[in-house]
Every structure is written in structure tokens, then in C-alpha cells.
Amino acid sequence: MRLSEVTWTDVRDAEVDVAFLPVGSTEQHGPHAPLGTDALNAVAVAEAAADAYEESSGGPGAGRGEVAVAPPVPVGVAEEHRAFDGTMWVSPETFRAYVREAAESLVSHGVDRVVFVNGHGGNVEALAEVARRFSRDDAHAGYGVAFTWFEAVGDHASDMGHAGPLETALLRATNPDLVREERVEAASAGAADRWGEWVSGVNLAHDSDEFTDNGVVGDPRAGDAERGTELLDRASAALAELSAAVVDRDAA
């Protein structure tokens, strides 16, 4: 169920096993992909995984219960893209507090298992801390973990980049109208080959405009809709499997 579309009585009467809290960002994704890419992709994976979880158990009422998919958190830790117009961000401190408190509100209704479904690399570190604090807080007695979709796509993961093949592919499969196809050639021509400037394993660049002029890392031409469908299948299967383990885990 999508929390923003059902009623409170629907939630009361449902047997909810786990909540997914999609977490995105509003930040530059090159000249061809929308600022909301990370939330759009996180929601697409969360919804597909919720279906997979419920289907694998024979549907609501048969064995396992339902997944409550929360509305996405639209602004994250993205100051690294501050040079590009339209990018928004909050501090890691604000982000951690907001996301943790949002998850805790679900626990007050008995939904004590939460998976944070992330679509943005800059959120990874802060979300891991959110999951730990959420799980260790005895007052709320919840248990949660953080999942980042592009880390759960097997061999594809090494192609991640930014607004590159993977993110563009997933958009083409799930929100094709939002990809400016006529700008993909230019996006590709101006793209950097890799994220950051590395010396001795350390990235010297704190901001993305230090190594990419148009915001793109990797070749978006290498991500067609077919690849996007495969990414969606892989990430949602991984998330459904993870969710079953989260639900079954004795976290007392």
C-alpha cells in the first residue's frame, strides 16, 4: 500500500509487516535528467519490491502481510552539487534527525520494521547512522536498515557514475517522459569518466563541478530502457529478499 493514497482506517485494518521509506534528493542530474531523479528512482524500486514481497508470500492475508510504502523524503545530503542550479540540500544533522523521526512515527502505530530505500549516494553515510540509531533506541523498539538501489544490481554497480547509464536507464524504464532524449548526446559529450579526483585513495574534490562541467559522470547513452528494466528487477528482488530477512529477524 502507498501511505499517501490509502486512508488511516486502511492502515489500521491491514497487517503491515514492514515500511519502506524512500529517500531521494533534489539535485542536478545533468542536462537530460530531472532534479528529482533520486526520489523517482527510489520510489520505483520501493513499489516494485513491495509487489514482489507481497506476491512471494501469496498476497496479503496469505502468510506474510503487506508493505507500507511511505512518501519519499525529497531533499537530502547533496551540497556537493551546490554549483548547479536548482539543487537543494540540508545538513547531515538535519537529515538524520528528520528521517529518524519520520520512521519513529511509524513505530507508534506498531510498524516497527523499516527499510530506508535510498536513491542518492550522498545520503548513504547519514542513512547508515539513521538505521543504527533507530534500531538502538530502546524507547521506540524499532529495527531498520538502509538499502541503496544501485548497490544491489550486481555487475552493473560499477557503472554507477552520476546521471549516467544506470540512473538514466532506470528513468527510461519507469519515467520515460522525464528524460530529455534530445539532450542525451550533449550530456554524454560533456560527461566525466569517473566520480572525483583521486590520490592515494582520497578524493580531492568536495564538489562535483570540480570534475564534471555539465554534472554528468558516465555515459547516459549506455542505459536504455531494457537495461533499466533489468536494474529494476534486480534491485527490487534484492530489496524484497532483504525485507523478508528484516521482518523475520529477532531484533529484541
Name the residues that contact Zn ion, by CB under 5 A: 37-38
Nearest to 151, CA basis, from 22, 239, 44: 239
Query: Any idea which residue has 523521526 for its cell?
Result: 101
- Smallest distance from Zn ion to CB 69, Å: 20
Query: Any idea which residue has 540540508 for its cell?
Result: 90
Output the nine-digit C-alpha cell for 188. 554524454
Closest CB to Zn ion among 136 and 206?
206
Backbone torsions φ then ψ of 16, nearest 5 degrees: -95, 120
- Smallest distance from Zn ion to CB 245, Å: 26
Closest CB to Zn ion among 16 and 239?
239
Count of beta carbons in the 10 Å neighbourhood of residue 60: 16
Closest CB to Zn ion among 37 and 214?
37
- Smallest distance from Zn ion to CB 118, Å: 10
- Smallest distance from Zn ion to CB 28, Å: 9
In the bound state, the residue with its beta carbon closest to Zn ion is 38
CA separation for the pair 188, 130 (Å, rounded):
35
CA separation for the pair 66, 51 (Å, rounded):
9
Closest CB to Zn ion among 106 and 166?
166
> Which amino acid type is present at position 13?
D
- Smallest distance from Zn ion to CB 45, Å: 13
Residues 6 or more apart whose CB falls under 8 angstroms from that of 54 comprise 60, 64, 66, 67
